[in-house]
Amino acid sequence: MSHQTVIVLDFGGQYNQLIARRVRECGVYCEVKPCTTPLEELKAMAPIGFIFTGGPNSVYDEKAPRVDPALFELGVPVLGICYGCQLMAHTLGGQVTAAQEDTAREYGRTETFYDGSCKLFKGLPGRGVSWMSHGDYMAKVPQGFALTAHSAACPNVAIADETRGFYGVQFHPEVNHTEHGVDMIRNFLYEVCKARGDWTMGDYCRTAIAQVREKVGTGKVLLALSGGVDSSVCAALLAEAVGPQLTCVFVDHGLMRLNEGDEVEAAFGKWDINFVRVDAETRFLLKLAGVDEPERKRKIIGEEFIRVFEEEARKIGKVDFLAQGTIYPDVIESGAGNAAVIKSHHNVGGLPDYVDFKEIIEPLRLLFKDEVRQLGRELGLPEYLVSRQPFPGPGLAIRIIGDITKEKADTLRQADFIFRDEIAGAGLDKAPDQYFAVLTNTRSVGVMGDGRTYDHTLALRAVSTDDFMTADWSRIPYDVLDRVSTRIVNEVPGINRIVYDITSKPPATVEWE
């Protein structure tokens, strides 16, 4: 089944993936494409609409990213957001300049007034708060465009040429701070693009299964199974698609959480799949000895994972495909298109140049975390697996700051278990979306009994998020944090200080490394 598609053209803005999320939440499939994507490639996707994202540039700069003007002649509706709005105005004959003192330079929460006769604002209140972030100003709007929203400082907060289906807003409707922002996006999709709303997780599930079957044929598939949500859902989908042609390899690299290796084996050992557990703790720790740079850790773990898989593949005969539970945030953070590399995920940017498989299969590559959970439910996975706490592929290696030793891993395992145990005991295990401990490389002076100590500082991290593209730190009650701190200091040797991370994403990432 082919779905109607909306293309989000990426001009380097910080909320680009959030725009895609909002479109999908409205029941319409979309993909994010670099603004440099050739027009013929875009046309071949037969989109029902384009959304131009924001971006850090000024459209009048010579090196600013552009779009082929012929795109506006395709008869396809366009919604421009922030930079995307100004780019549309600039391309179609308007004038964009740097905002002066007497014109609109707006940032943050802004009271905005909307023209309800415009399709973009149909059925919405005539005023509300929008989230602004622009230092440029549309001094002249293109011919055929009307002004459809304004603020106290700016007369052209939104513009529209409804005859051609072109709309532009200088605020960000995709962020939660903009009241009724998702409704505006929905209006663009359904009132302007005439979307059918034909994309559901059930459809995605059936399509993904069919695509895997077609690609694999009679071949064999090897899956990197970590026991986390992503690889578990990937395993269920592949089992549905190719059944006995699938072998799941669980590499116990000695960097798992307390008892997790046994739990994974117990959970998947009951499934009707080929399950192999490889004890590789010594092997990984030797490779990581003396390495303290985060990207090198990820690269080393990524390559060693592949080498283990290749060895296991040779034991079971010819294997054609390697499967991975890569999801969309992994791809974005590892750098895609014009995006900067935030950190290489071991199953994306951490892959070695040579891989001894015909092809890599990543059926979850276009899904966000909450969509992966939905897919797991569609496949009939038990809720305890679908709702499992996220755990990075490199495991505790990126939660130990500095070099890695077995002693440090054991210390962190115990401390992390206590943190999770107290969170669950307080009935908060569904409140933060991810929580864990980090063993820092900072030592500090302490006093235990009558003696001086000089031991590790442990950081606790807990965040709340819908999609893991952005996240807010969780407000865990002080009495819970107190119990966690007291238990760790008393029960785990080598730790004498506990700190709590109260940084959101951005500017931080969820993981420390």
pLDDT tens-digit profile, the chain (513 residues): 578 999 999 998 878 888 988 999 999 998 889 999 999 999 999 999 999 999 888 888 888 999 999 999 999 999 999 999 999 999 999 988 876 654 455 556 788 999 999 999 999 999 998 887 656 778 899 999 999 999 877 888 999 999 999 999 999 999 888 999 999 999 999 999 999 998 888 888 998 999 999 999 999 998 888 778 898 899 999 999 998 899 998 889 999 999 888 888 877 766 777 889 999 999 999 999 999 999 999 999 988 988 887 788 888 888 889 898 888 767 655 444 444 443 444 443 344 444 567 888 999 988 888 889 999 999 988 887 888 777 887 899 999 999 999 999 999 999 999 999 999 999 998 789 899 999 999 999 988 776 788 999 999 999 998 767 778 999 999 999 999 999 999 999 999 999 999 999 988 989 998
Calpha distance 53→9 (Å, rounded): 6
CATH of the domain at 184: 3.40.50.880
Cross-strand partners of 275: 248
Identify whether residues 330 and 430 lie together within a single domain: no
Identify whether residues 232 and 334 lie together within a single domain: yes
107 part of a folded domain = yes
150 part of a folded domain = yes
Cross-strand partners of 134: 106
Q: At what angle do helices 406-425 and 478-491 cross, to 10 degrees?
A: 150
Identify whether residues 168 and 217 lie together within a single domain: no
295: its two tokens = 């990207």
Active site residues: 82, 172, 174
Identify whether residues 35 and 95 lie together within a single domain: yes
The domain boundary, picked from 192, 224, 247, lies at 192
Q: Are 406 and 254 in contact (CB under 8 A)?
A: yes
What predicted TM-score, i.e. pTM, was given to this entire model?
A: 0.65
Calpha distance 204→81 (Å, rounded): 28
Tokens 């922002």 belong to 181
Identify whether residues 174 and 232 lie together within a single domain: no
511 part of a folded domain = no
Identify whether residues 362 and 234 lie together within a single domain: yes
448 part of a folded domain = yes
Identify whether residues 217 and 355 lie together within a single domain: yes
Domain of residue 461, residue span: 399-500
513 part of a folded domain = no
The rounded Cα 14 to chain-centroid distance in angstroms is 12
The domain boundary, picked from 356, 386, 416, lies at 386
CATH of the domain at 436: 3.30.300.10
The domain boundary, picked from 163, 192, 221, lies at 192
Identify whether residues 22 and 137 lie together within a single domain: yes
Domains of the chain: total = 3
Identify whether residues 323 and 425 lie together within a single domain: no
Identify whether residues 135 and 98 lie together within a single domain: yes
159 part of a folded domain = yes
Listed in sequence order, the residues at least 6 apart from 426 whose beta carbon sits closer than 8 Å to its beta carbon are 477, 480
Q: Are 138 and 94 in contact (CB under 8 A)?
A: yes
Identify whether residues 82 and 213 lie together within a single domain: no
**279 φ/ψ sector (left φ>0, alpha ψ -120 to 50, else beta):** beta
Identify whether residues 182 and 86 lie together within a single domain: yes
